[in-house]
Structure 1
Amino acid sequence: MPRSTWKGAVSFGLVTIPVKLYSATEEKDVSFRQVHPADGGRIKYKRVCEVCGEEIPYGEIAKGYETADGRMVILEASDFNDLPLPTAKQVEIVQFVDVDEIDPAAYNKAYFLEADGPGAKPYVLLREALKRSGKSALVKVALRSRESLALIRAEDDLLMLQTLLWPDELRDGAFAAPPDDVTATPAEVDMASMFIDQLSAPYDPTQFTDSYREALEAVVAAKLGEAPAPEAAPEEEGTGDVVDLVAALKASVEAAKKRREAAAKAG
C-alpha cells in the first residue's frame, strides 16, 4: 500500500471529513544514470558554495529567495511550516462546477482521497451527493510547498482530488494557430470525418503500451547478453508535400478499414 502524502480534512459546509491523500499515478519511464563510458563509473556532482568555495553537505543547504534587487532571504523549515494558510490542513469547498467548464490543459496531478477514522460516513455522503448532482467540488489546497486549486470528484466508490494549474500558469497558444486565410474545403472535412469514424472506438487504455520503454528494455537486455539484439524499425519513406488532401485522406480511410478488418479476424 502506498504512503499517504497529506493528511487533513475536507470541509463540506458544517460537515468535516477527515481524509488521507495518496498519489493516483506513478511514473513508469526508463531511468538512466550519467556514467563515464570508459569504465561505467557514475558521475557525481559536488555542491559547492560560489562565495567561499567550500563543498556543502546536503543537510546544511537552505532555501533562499532572491529579490528583484539581488538581496537573498534565507528561509528556515519553520517558515514554511508556520505559513498562515488555512488550506494547509483544511480543504474548504468553495463552489461546485461542471467538469466541462474546466480547460483540460489546467489538469495537473491526480490523488485518491481515503476517509480517515470517523470520516467514512461523511465521505460517502459527499461521494453520493456529487454523483447525483453530476458536479465536482472546487477547492483550494496546499500541497508540496504550494497552494493549488483542485477538483474533488466522485469516481466509482472513491473521491478523487485533481489539482489544477493557476490561470497565469497556462500559456496563450494563439501564436501557434495557422493563418486565417488557410481553410479546408467541405469535401476535405467530409473525408477527414470519415477517417475519424473509421478509427473511433471506446477508450480502452489497456490496449496500448509504451513502445519506447519496451524498445529500450530490449536494447538493455541485448547488451547484457540476455536476449538477441532487436531489429531496427524500417524507415518510412517521406511523402513530401501533400497536394491532394482528399486523395490522401481517402487512402487513409481505406487503410484504416483494412486494419480494422484484420484486427477483427485476429480477435
Structure 2
Amino acid sequence: MQAIWKGSVSFGLVTIPVKVYAATQEKDVAFRQVHAADGGRIRYRRFCEVDGEEVAYSDIAKGYELPDGEMAVLTAEDMADLPLPTRHVVEVLEFVPAEEIDPIYVSRSYYLQADGPAAKPYVLLRDALRRTGQTALVKVALRNREALAMLRPKGDVLVLQTMLWPDEVRDASFAAPASEVEVRPQEVAMAESYIQTLETSFDPDRYHDEYRAALEVVLEAKATGHEVEAPATAAPAKGEVVDLMAALQASVDEARRQRGESAGGGAGRTAGSAAKAAKPAKSTKKAPAKKTAAKKTATKKATAKKTTTKKAAKKPAAKTAKTPARKSA
C-alpha cells in the first residue's frame, strides 16, 4: 500500500515521524457510460475555449476568476508551495474527551504508521490517549487542503480522522418537528421496549452490502444469458400509521420472532409494565379520606370502650366478685 502523506506528529517537544495511509475504501460495482443502442463507449474530450484545441489532462491547471474577469492560474508547483505550517506536520492543538466530538464532523479516516525509529514515541502517545480516554485535536494539510482532525487509538495503531470545519456543517433547526407534537408516555415505553428487544453489541461483520450483491447476480445472469428471479418483496405500507401503540407492539413481536423468541413474551410484558408505570395513579387522592375514616372509626371504638369501662366500675362489688369464681369453674 502506498502512503499518501509523509511528515511528523508534533506532540509537545516530541516529534513522531509518520506515514499516512488511507484507512477505508469504498467498494461498488463500476459502470461505464455506453450507447444504449450498440454498447459503444461514451468518451469525453476537453477543449480549450480560447484556441479550440483538445487539452491533455496533464496540461490542466487550477484557475480562479478574479473580480475583473481575469483568470489567476495556479499550477501544481504553486499548490505544493502553499505557506502552510501544517503541510508536513500534524500539529496537536488540544485534548478533549472522545464522547464530546459529534460524529457529524468526521470526514475521512487514515492510519498512521511510525516511520523509522519513531516506534517508542508512537506507542507512548497511543497508550497515553487510551489510558486517559482523550482524543487529540490536530491540524494537518492533506491533498493541498488544511483540515481540522482528531487523532485517536484504534487497537495497536493511531487513526487520523479529518473533520469538517464548523461552518461546513449546516444548521439542523429546519428539520426539527413542530413543538406542539406530543407523545404519550405509553408510546415512549413501547418504543423503549422495541429498542431493548434489538439491543446488542456492535459487530460490523454481521452487515453486508445486499445492493452490491444483487447487482453482481444480475451481471452474472447477463453474462451467462440466464433470467434473474425476482425475490419476494413485502407490500408497501398504505397511508399513515394511526395507532402507534399497535404498530410498536407489532414491531416488538416481529423483532422477537426474527430472533427466535416467542412473540408477545417478555418484551410485551416489559412494555406493558412500563406503560402501566407511566400512567398516573387514579386512587392517590382517595387514600387520605380512607385513612381519616379509619381513624374516626378507631376513635369511636376507643370512646365506646372507655364508656363501658366506666359503667363497669359503677356496678356493685358482689357482681364483680362472681366473675373470678366463674373463671375458676
Regarding TM over 0.5, the answer is yes
1:161 aligns with 2:160: yes
Q: Which residue of structure 1 aligns with residue 240 of structure 2?
A: 241
* SS of residue matched to 2:260: helix
- Describe the SS at the equivalent of 1:224: helix
Kept in 1, the 8 Å contact 2:80–2:144? The answer is no
Residue of structure 2 equivalent to 1:33? 32
**Which has the higher mean CA deviation after the structures are superposed, 172-181 or 4-13?**
172-181
Given that 1:219 and 1:229 are in contact with CA atoms closer than 8 Å, whether structure 2 keeps it comes out as yes
Displacement after TM superposition at 1:97 (Å): 0.9
Q: Quote how far apart the aligned CAs of 1:68 are.
A: 4.5
What residue number does 1:152 align with? 151
Cα pair distance change 1:68/1:169, threshold 3 Å: farther
For 1:207, give the aligned amino acid: R
Does the aligned pair in 1 maintain the 2:9–2:17 contact within 8 Å? yes
Moved more, 57-66 or 207-216: 57-66
Deviations 1:78-128 (A, max 9, x none): 211111111000111111111111121000111100000011111011111
Alpha-carbon RMSD across the aligned residues, in angstroms, is: 1.6
Task: Give deviations 1:146-188, integer Å, cap 9, x for gaps.
Answer: 1001111111111111111100110111111111111211111
The whole-number CA distance in structure 1 between the counterparts of 2:92 and 2:84 is 15
For residues 181-196 of structure 1, what are the structure 2 equivalents within 5 Å? Answer: 181-196=180-195
Query: If each structure's strand is expressed as a fraction of its own residues, which one has the higher value?
Result: 1
Q: 1:152 is aligned with what amino acid?
A: L
Higher helix share: 2
Which residue matches 2:54?
55
Task: Tell me which residue corresponds to 1:93.
Answer: 92
Query: Secondary structure of 2:6's match?
Result: strand
The one-letter code of the counterpart of 1:60 is D
Partner of 1:76: 75
Structure 1 stretches of 5 or more lacking a match? none
Identity rate of aligned residues, in percent?
56
What is the total number of aligned residue pairs between the two structures? 262
Which structure has more RCO (C-alpha within 8 Å, separation ≥ 6)? 1
Q: What TM-score do the two structures reach when normalised by structure 2?
A: 0.77
Q: Residue 239 of structure 1: SS of its match in structure 2?
A: coil
Larger radius of gyration: 2
Scaled by the length of structure 1, what TM-score is found?
Answer: 0.94
Deviations 1:197-253 (A, max 9, x none): 111111111011001000111000000017652324425232311111011101111
Decide which moves more: 107-116 or 91-100: 91-100
CA distance in 1, matches of 2:68, 2:62: 18
* Preserved CA contact (<8 Å) 1:218 1:227: no
> Does the residue aligned with 1:243 lie in a helix, a strand or coil?
coil
Q: Is contact 1:219-1:230 (8 Å) kept? A: no
